[in-house]
Amino acid sequence: MLDWFLLILSIIFILIGLIGCILPVIPGPPLSYIGLLVLHFTRFAEFSVTFLVLMACVAIIVTILDYIVPLWGTKRFGGSKAGIWGATIGLFLGIFVLPPIGIIIGPLVGAIIAESLKGKDFNKSLKAGFGSLVGFALGIGLKLATSGVMTWYFFQELFSK
């Protein structure tokens, strides 16, 4: 009975982990990792310690990079701290105002507005906004790839027994 409860719990963690790759308030890869870990403690799967440590390290690294990559994208394209803040605020507003397209458009518009308010001309603001969009897209792609691999191993192990 406990195995079935843990199986359901691990599936929930895997699914929320995948959703968290797109929604910025949910830490996708760490939750996907927890799903793997919970499954490990059932009769349905048996991951090696090396595998679990490796996946934990990957989840931690990707989570850290998720904070660095958007900053890099904005700065790389000429954005300032104001652009970074604008992109972040735009992302959060975009989630609620125009889901799901707001997740894509929000950071772009937020960075453009913030850079314009700081006094940059429109072309430089647009370039910084594009940089934030590239950074957020790279972060989302990195998280999706990581959680996708964990999900693949999850179901491979679950259905191999």
> Mean of the pLDDT values across residues 121-145?
89
What pLDDT is attached to residue 161?
A: 66
Alpha-carbon distance values, 121 to 73, 78, 140 (Å): 19, 12, 29
Q: Which two tokens stand for residue 29?
A: 């890869």
Q: What is the pLDDT of residue 12?
A: 98
Could you tell me if 8 and 35 are in contact, meaning their C-beta atoms sit under 8 angstroms apart?
no
Q: What is the pTM of this model?
A: 0.82
Q: Which amino acid type is present at position 125?
A: S
pLDDT digits (tens, 9 = 90+) for 87-130: 888 888 888 888 778 877 888 899 899 999 988 888 888 898 88
Query: Which is more confidently placed, 126 or 14?
Result: 14
